Amino acid sequence: MNTGNVRRQDLERCRSLREREKPSNSSLSKHLQKVYPIGIHKSTSSLTLSSLSLSQCSNDSSLNSCLSRWDRKVQASLHGLGSLEKREASVADVGKGSLDSRDGNLKRCHWITKDQVYVLFHDERWGVPVYDDSQLFELLALSGMLMDQNWTEILSRRELYREVFSRFDANVVTKMEEKKIIEISSNKKLMLAESRVRCIVDNARGILKIVKEFGSFSSYLWGYMNYRPNISRYRYPRNIPLRTPKAEAISKDLIRRGFRFVGPVIVYSFMQAAGMTIDHLIDCFRFVECVNLAENPCSLTNTAK
C-alpha cells in the first residue's frame, strides 16, 4: 500500500479517536452555567464552564472513584477551553477601580453576567470574609443548592429562604417539625426538594454539635485557614481551581460529622462566597477592596445584605 495513503488513514483514525474522546457539549450542558462566580466564558458562544458539582458524591461509598471521574471531565473541559481566555489583566490597574474600555463600566471578574442580583452579589458580598455563624450557615446552605440551581436563581429567592429557615438560626432550624419540612418542600416558589430541606435541617444539627466542640461554627471553619483568608492573585478565570486541598479537608470532615451536600467543589464555592478565599481576578475593582477587608478585619461590618 502507498505510504502516503497509510499515513492519511492513520491520521484519520487518530482524528476520529480524538473527536470521540472530547467532552460533548450536550453531556456538560446540564452542569454548565450553575455554580457561582467562577468559570471560563467564550464570548462568541453559549458554551460556558462554570463548575461541576461533586456534592452528589459526598455520601457515596464510591466517593474517590466518583470524584476521580468528575475530575477527568473537568480537566478535559479546562484543557479544551483554556485557550479561549486571552485577555490580559493589567497589573497597573489593580485596585484603581479601572474602567472597562468596552462600555466604561467598572471592571469586574470576567464571568459576571448582567443579571442585577448576580452583579450585586459579586460587588457587595462575594469574597467578603464572614465570621457570623448564621451567615456562614446560610452561605453553606445556598452553596448546597448549586446542585440544582445557579447563583442567580438562588439569590433571587434568598429572602424567601431566610424567611422559611428563620434567617438560618441553627437553633431554630433544628427544631423544625415534619409538617414544616413538608410545607417548605411543597412550596413551588422555593424550588427545594424535600431532600434539600431535610439536608439543611440535618446540617443545622451538625452545626450545633460543632458549636459545642469549638465554641462556634466560625471558629471551626476559620481554624482551617489559620484565621486568615487565603488571598489569590489570579489573572485569568482558567487559573481558579474548582477545589483545593483545604476544601477537600473541610468537606471530608463535614461528611464525617454527618453533613450532606458538602462535596469539595460545593465547599470551595462556599469558601469563596464566605471570603475564606479571595478569588476576585486582580483586574476586578473588588480585588483590593476585599483584600483590605481580609487584612483589616476590624474595619469589617459584617451585616447580611
Model confidence band, residue 189 (pLDDT cutoffs 50, 70, 90): very high
Residue-wise pLDDT tens digits, 123-136: 999 999 999 999 99
Quickly tell me which residue has 428563620 as its cell: 166
Distance CA 227, CA 21 (A): 43
User: Residue range 172-188: average pLDDT?
Assistant: 96
**Is a pLDDT exceeding 60 seen at residue 116?**
yes
pLDDT at position 295 is 84
**Is a pLDDT exceeding 50 seen at residue 52?**
no
Q: Are the CB atoms for 111 and 41 separated by under 8 Å? A: yes
**Is a pLDDT exceeding 60 seen at residue 219?**
yes
Percent of the chain with pLDDT over 90: 56
Q: Are the CB atoms for 254 and 217 separated by under 8 Å? A: no
pTM of the model: 0.69
Model confidence band, residue 76 (pLDDT cutoffs 50, 70, 90): very low
Model confidence band, residue 114 (pLDDT cutoffs 50, 70, 90): confident
**Is a pLDDT exceeding 50 seen at residue 214?**
yes
**Is a pLDDT exceeding 70 seen at residue 241?**
yes
- The closest alpha carbon to 277, from 250, 305, 299, belongs to 250
273: its cell numbers = 462566597
pLDDT at position 294 is 86
The rounded Cα 273 to chain-centroid distance in angstroms is: 7
User: Residue range 37-57: average pLDDT?
Assistant: 32
**Is a pLDDT exceeding 90 seen at residue 285?**
yes
